[in-house]
Amino acid sequence: MQSPQAGPRTAHVPQSILTMSIGAVCGPPRTVFDRLFGQRVERKPSEGVPNVSTMTSLPAQPTIDDLGTPLALVSFCVVDLETTGGGLDDRVTEIGAVKVRGGEVLGEFQTLVNPKAHIPPLIAVLTGITNSMVADAPRLSAALPGFLEFSRGCVMVAHNAGFDMGFLKRACTEFGYAWPNPAVVDTVALARQALLRDEVRNHKLATLAQHFRAEVTPNHRALTDAQATVTVLHGLLERVGNLGVHTLEDLLEFTRRVSPQRRAKRTWAAGLPKSPGVYWFVADGRDLAGRATRQVLYVGKSRNLAARVRSYFTAAETRPRIDEMVRIATGVEHLECSTELEAEVLELRLIATHSPRYNRRSKFPERRVWLKLTREPFPRLSIVRQCLADGADYFGPFSRRSGAEAVQTALYDAFPIRQCTTRLSPRRVSGACVLGEMGKCLAPCELAVTPQQYGELIEQVRSSLTTDIRPVLNAAQSRLASLIRRQRFEDAAVVTARLSGFASSAVRHHRVASLAGCPQIVAAYRQVDDWHIHVIRYGRLAAAARARPGDVPQAIARSAVAVAEQVAPPVGPQSAATTEETERIAAWLERPGVRLIDIEGDWSWPLHIGLAEGDLARHALPDPLPSDRPQQAASGASKAV
């Protein structure tokens, strides 16, 4: 039996997960208790049902990556450059460097450099380096390899490191040397973080060297300044060590202004598996009655749980709202998944269940609307919130009402169907509306057409929604021609955006509806050496499994089907899951290399339901463009589309 790894905090699992039946099967299926609480079942090969009394928790042991590199073992190369100026065209005149480790000086490097340029008098007075001093010095192309070899494998340290590293990088590029891209520590940034404002008047090298009682005084010579920077570095390391900075990783995060409180929480990532799964940050508290409460703050998913959770406590995470979330969180919990798709789906379900305050997307899947073609003597289009088993045709869903209204308007532009909401009788005349008088409606309210004649028009509307969208696009030609002729390109852009939205909505509708109509699909995808196997029922992920090397994928698939969630058929074109979940499943199924093991039902789309590149312009724009000035009209049409 495959044994899941235990994480740092898996004791609390939201109730919604307990009711899910996404089966992760690898060999014999895991129990729900085993899946959720990350525990291992110890049993002999001859044993069948596991004995709960023999279950033991896996210890969470930090890895080398979690511990980091102790500062005492890090070799630092403290470097300083003297140059002819600070511009991009200025040249290096001297290189000085000191290599230290564990407080001990390992070596020094110093050389003058012939810049092959005149040294300005002001620079010569400041540094004491004159043109005659560098006349016989090696050029930078000859001095650079020696410095790169001296600093090999070291962490670069400089005071105002951006200046020195910039010159070194440009020199490597100019002379064809590979820049080693080392970790860089800037003592200016480190001092600004470590020292209080009233301790030093500024963060210049001379000021800091005096503050830390350096034995040498900076004098704008490369080696002397590097030696002074060594003293400053050691003084700052002693200071930040009291703030919990003990490794190179801690030091780099400290210079990037990651608070000690946030860095201290990085232990939450210790012991997390490097596999797909979902994680959620929680905040423990108490209500007014003194009862313990737990709030889910944020839910995420990742293909590598350990790396993703660890990134929240580093400078890689720059979103202010997430920084606030990490500060108020009291813990992070996780659930390991068999596949990346299972992690995506579980993330969506948890977000929908808990509506975490720091998640922005996928929080309210119930806020979807549909475009309904009613069943009555004179059908009409209506925007509704749910599909019913009433025999009507539904199109969608739409995440916003404005999207449904745009598609509705596109259909009104193409077909003169009624837009009123009055229930009309096929035998009694009702009051006419202005649209009928304008010729934009067949006026069934006045019995100008019979239900059979009106039904033929409704069949064209239904065909555009279910089979072929081209009639809607073609119907816009006359209106676009008029707008282009009058150079109303902004209005033409609105019309074409509406048509484009209709086309994309049609694709989304049929992607969802085609999967919703399939009672079961079993598919597999090979990723590296494993097979990711999924069971989809009516557009909902019912089971996920992974066949590892040595397993028989077909047997794993049969086991996954056996433990898969039982899903009831949905109503209408909607799927048994949220639209976003079904779209994620559709995207996975459409990946090159996915193999269908078993399918019940028809998974297909109509041929003319989407748009290829250029189709919108070909169907919606008149040819030729109507205008007295062809070039200007063509330019406007391009803007519109």
Catalytic residues: 220
For 497, the token pair is 């955006």
Distance CA 367, CA 579 (A): 11
- Amino acid at residue number 627: S
Q: Report the number of secondary-structure helices (H) and strands (E) in the chain.
A: 24, 18
DSSP for 212-243? TT-SS---S-HHHHHHHHHHHHHHHHHHHHTT
Residues 113, 94: Cα–Cα separation, whole Å: 5
CA dihedral sign, ordered 552, 553, 558, 564: positive
**Token code pair at residue 600:** 């019940």
d(CA 88, CA 138): 21
Strands 39-40 and 277-286, by their bridges, are unpaired
Could you give the CA distance from residue 502 to residue 470 in angstroms, rounded to a whole number? 11
Q: What residues contact 292, with CB distance under 8 A and at least 6 apart? A: 284, 285, 286
CA angle 109, 110, 115 (to 5 degrees): 135
d(CA 261, CA 244): 10
Q: How far apart are CA 275 and CA 342, in angstroms?
A: 12
- Separation of alpha carbons 151 and 148, rounded Å: 5
**Sheet hosting strand 104-112, strand order edge to edge:** 104-112, 92-101, 75-83, 155-158, 184-186
